[in-house]
C-alpha cells in the first residue's frame, strides 16, 4: 500500500514538472506573433468568472473561431473562485489560467502574489487603456499585473412613479429618507460594492471630503479618528433605511416595491432589465454629491498551465470589438479609451462631473470592518 502511495506521489510530481514547463518561449520578451503561435500550441485556456455567462459564452465561441484555441469559461461564485485560486497557490501547476479580479479582491490577491506578470508590456493594446488603470486599482499598486477589463459606475436607481424630486446633495438625501422612511436601501458593504459606495459617500459628506485620503498606502489613524460621526449617523438613521444582502438584492427589493430608491451598479441594472428582474421604467442617476465608479480586471495565475493562451485571451477580451460587444450585451463600460459608447444609462455630463474615484483600498477595507463592527453588530 505504502509503495503504491509513493508511486502515485512520484507520478504526480513528475507530471507536475512536465506540465509546469509551460511555453518554451520567454513570454516577456517574445514577439506577439510567437506568443500567439505558442498559445495555439497550448490549445486551450481556462477562465474563471462569476457573471455575464451569456457574454463569455459568445466570446469563447468567437475566440475559438478566430484562433482555434478552446476557451473553457467557468462561471462560479466570486468568493469560491478566489478560494480555489488561493487553495491552488502552492501547486506547481494549477487548473486556472486566468480569472476576473473583483475590486475587493485586488488587495488580497496582490498581497498573496497570486498573479503572473507584469503583463502590461506583453499585451499589444495596453496603450489603449488609461495608464493609471494599469498602475493602481482600488487604491492598490498593481504595476501592470492586472489587465483592465471593464468599468462600471454606481448610481441611485429609483422608481420614477414614487421619486419625483431627486436628491442631489447629502442634505437633500437626508431630508428624503426622513420623508420616506425605509424606502431607501443599500447593501451591506461587506456583501457588495454598491453598499461600499454608499458608505464611502457618507464618509465624504460627514467628515469633510475624500481628498485627504488620496495617495495613502496605509490607514492614517488621524484621518479616520472622526469616522465615529459616520457610524453615529448610520445608527441614528438605521430605522429609516433598509440594509440589503447583496447588490442584486437591492435591485430585487426595488422591483418588488419594498424600496423606492437604492444604490446600484449600472451593469447590474442593465442585466436585471434584460432578464425581466426589474421594471422597464426604472431610472438611474449620479447625484451631485458624487458616487464612485469602479471596474474589474483580469489576471493570469502564476501557476497557469496555459500562459500564452491566457495572454491571447486577455488581449481578445480587451479588443475594441469585444469591449463594444460586452457593453451592448451586458452594459458594462469598455475599459478602453478609444471606444465611444451609445445608449448610456447615465448622461455623459453627469458621468464626467459626478463620478468620483474610490479612496485607497486600505481605507476601504477599514471602512467595511468598522461598518460591520459599529453599525451592523450594534
Partner 1 sequence: MQEKIQKIPLYIRQARRKQSLTTILTAFFIVVQIIWVGLPIFMAVLWSLVDPDHPWSFPSILPEKLSLAQWVYVFKYTNIVRALKTSYMLAPCAVALSFLLGLPTAYVLGRKQIRGKKFFETIVLLPMIMPGMVVALFLSRVFTAFGLAQNFFGLVLAHTLMALPYMIRLLATSFEAIPQDIIDAAENLGANTFVKIKDIFLPMIRPGLLAGIIFAFTTSIEEFNLTFVIGTPTFETIPTILYSFLGYNFIRTNASVVALIMMIPNIILLFIVEDLLKFDYLSASLGKL
Q: Figure out which of the listed residues 84, 107, 151, 307 binds partner 1, where binding follows CB under 8 A.
A: 84
Contacts of 373 (CB under 8 A, 6+ apart): none
Contact status: 83 vs partner 1 (CB under 8 A): yes
Task: Identify the DSSP state of 373.
Answer: I
The only residue of 246, 302, 324, 339 in contact with partner 1, by rule CB under 8 A = 246
43 counts as binding partner 1 under rule CB under 8 A: no
Residue number, 80 or 141, with CB nearest to partner 1:
80
CB of 224 to partner 1, least distance (A): 27
User: Per the structure block, which three cell numbers stand in for 336?
Assistant: 478602453
Scored b (16 or more CB within 10 A) or e, 301-315 reads bbbbbbbbbbbbbbb
Instruction: Note whether 160 binds partner 1 by CB under 8 A.
Output: no
**Which residue stretch of 136-144, 202-210, 222-230, 245-253 sits at the interface with partner 1 (rule: CB under 8 A)?**
245-253
Of positions 50, 115, 213, 327, contacts partner 1 by CB under 8 A: 50
Q: How many residues bind partner 1 (CB under 8 A)?
A: 49
Q: Is residue 74 at the binding interface for partner 1, with CB under 8 A as the rule?
A: yes
Q: Are 72 and 340 in contact (CB under 8 A)?
A: no
CB 129 within 8 A of CB 336: yes
Give yes or no for residue 87 binding partner 1 (CB under 8 A).
Answer: yes
The C-alpha cell at 1 is: 500500500
**Looking at beta carbons only, is 99 or 289 nearer to partner 1?**
99
277 binds partner 1, rule: CB under 8 A: yes
In the bound complex, what is the minimum distance in angstroms from residue 51's beta carbon to partner 1? 5
Which is it for strands 147-158 and 184-187: parallel, antiparallel or unpaired?
unpaired
Any contact of residue 3 with partner 1 (CB under 8 A)?
no
Residues 82 and 108: beta-carbon distance below 8 Å? yes
Check binding of 256 to partner 1 (CB under 8 A): yes
1 near partner 1 (CB under 8 A): no
Phi, psi dihedrals of residue 241, rounded to the nearest 5°: -125, 165
Does the protein bind partner 1 through residue 12 (CB under 8 A)?
A: yes
Widest CA span in the chain = 76
Please give the grid coordinates belonging to residue 321: 470589438
Q: Does 6 bind partner 1 (CB under 8 A)?
A: no
Cβ atoms 202, 230 nearer than 8 A: yes
- Residue 221 sits in the site that holds partner 1 (CB under 8 A): no
> d(Cα 330, Cα 83) in Å, to the nearest integer?
26
Geometric angle at alpha carbon 185, from 238 and 106, rounded to 5°: 100
In angstroms, what is the minimal distance from the CB of 95 to partner 1?
6
**249 interacts with partner 1 by CB under 8 A:** yes
C-alpha span between 103 and 138 (Å, rounded): 6
Q: Which of 146, 115, 93, 54 is nearest to 330 (CA)?
A: 54
List 157's β-bridge partners, or say none: 262, 284
State yes or no: residue 2 binds partner 1 (CB under 8 A): no
Comparison of 45 and 122: residue with beta carbon closer to partner 1: 45
Q: Which is nearer to partner 1, 61 or 225 (CB)?
A: 61
Q: Which residues bind partner 1 (CB under 8 A)?
A: 5, 8-9, 11-12, 46, 48, 50-51, 53-54, 57, 72, 74-80, 83-84, 86-88, 91, 95-96, 191-192, 246-249, 252, 255-258, 271-280
Amino acid at each position: 500500500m505504502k509503495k503504491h502511495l509513493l508511486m502515485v506521489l512520484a507520478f504526480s510530481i513528475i507530471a507536475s514538472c512536465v506540465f509546469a514547463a509551460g511555453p518554451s518561449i520567454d513570454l516577456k520578451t517574445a514577439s506577439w506573433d510567437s506568443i500567439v503561435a505558442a498559445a495555439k500550441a497550448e490549445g486551450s485556456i481556462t477562465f474563471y468568472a462569476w457573471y455575464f455567462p451569456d457574454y463569455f459564452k459568445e466570446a469563447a465561441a468567437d475566440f475559438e473561431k478566430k484562433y482555434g484555441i478552446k476557451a473553457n469559461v467557468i462561471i462560479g461564485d466570486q468568493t469560491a473562485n478566489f478560494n480555489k485560486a488561493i487553495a491552488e497557490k502552492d501547486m506547481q501547476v494549477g487548473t486556472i489560467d486566468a480569472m476576473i479580479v473583483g475590486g475587493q479582491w485586488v488587495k488580497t490577491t496582490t498581497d498573496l502574489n497570486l498573479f503572473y506578470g507584469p503583463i502590461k508590456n506583453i499585451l499589444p493594446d495596453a496603450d489603449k487603456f488609461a495608464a493609471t488603470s494599469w498602475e493602481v486599482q482600488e487604491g492598490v499598486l498593481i504595476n501592470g499585473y492586472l489587465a483592465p477589463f471593464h468599468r462600471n459606475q454606481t448610481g441611485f436607481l429609483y422608481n420614477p412613479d414614487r421619486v419625483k424630486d431627486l436628491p442631489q446633495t447629502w442634505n437633500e438625501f437626508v431630508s428624503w429618507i426622513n420623508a420616506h422612511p425605509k424606502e431607501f436601501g443599500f447593501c451591506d458593504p461587506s456583501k457588495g460594492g454598491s453598499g461600499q459606495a454608499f458608505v464611502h459617500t457618507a464618509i465624504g459628506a460627514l467628515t469633510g471630503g475624500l481628498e485627504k485620503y488620496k495617495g495613502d498606502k496605509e490607514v492614517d489613524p488621524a484621518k479616520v479618528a472622526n469616522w465615529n460621526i459616520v457610524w453615529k449617523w448610520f445608527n441614528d438613521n438605521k430605522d429609516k433605511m433598509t440594509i440589503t444582502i447583496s447588490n442584486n438584492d437591492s435591485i430585487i427589493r426595488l422591483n418588488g416595491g419594498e424600496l423606492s430608491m437604492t444604490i446600484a451598479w449600472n451593469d447590474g441594472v442593465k442585466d436585471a432589465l434584460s432578464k425581466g428582474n426589474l421594471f422597464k421604467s426604472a431610472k438611474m442617476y449620479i447625484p451631485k454629491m458624487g458616487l464612485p465608479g469602479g471596474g474589474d480586471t483580469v489576471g493570469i495565475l502564476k501557476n497557469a498551465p496555459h500562459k500564452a493562451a491566457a495572454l491571447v485571451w486577455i488581449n481578445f477580451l480587451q479588443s475594441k470589438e469585444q469591449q463594444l460587444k460586452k457593453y451592448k450585451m451586458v452594459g458594462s463600460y469598455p475599459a478602453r479609451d478609444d471606444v465611444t459608447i451609445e445608449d448610456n444609462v447615465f448622461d455623459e455630463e453627469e458621468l464626467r462631473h459626478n463620478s468620483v474615484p474610490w479612496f485607497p483600498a486600505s481605507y476601504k477595507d477599514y471602512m467595511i470592518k468598522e461598518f460591520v463592527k459599529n453599525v451592523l453588530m450594534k
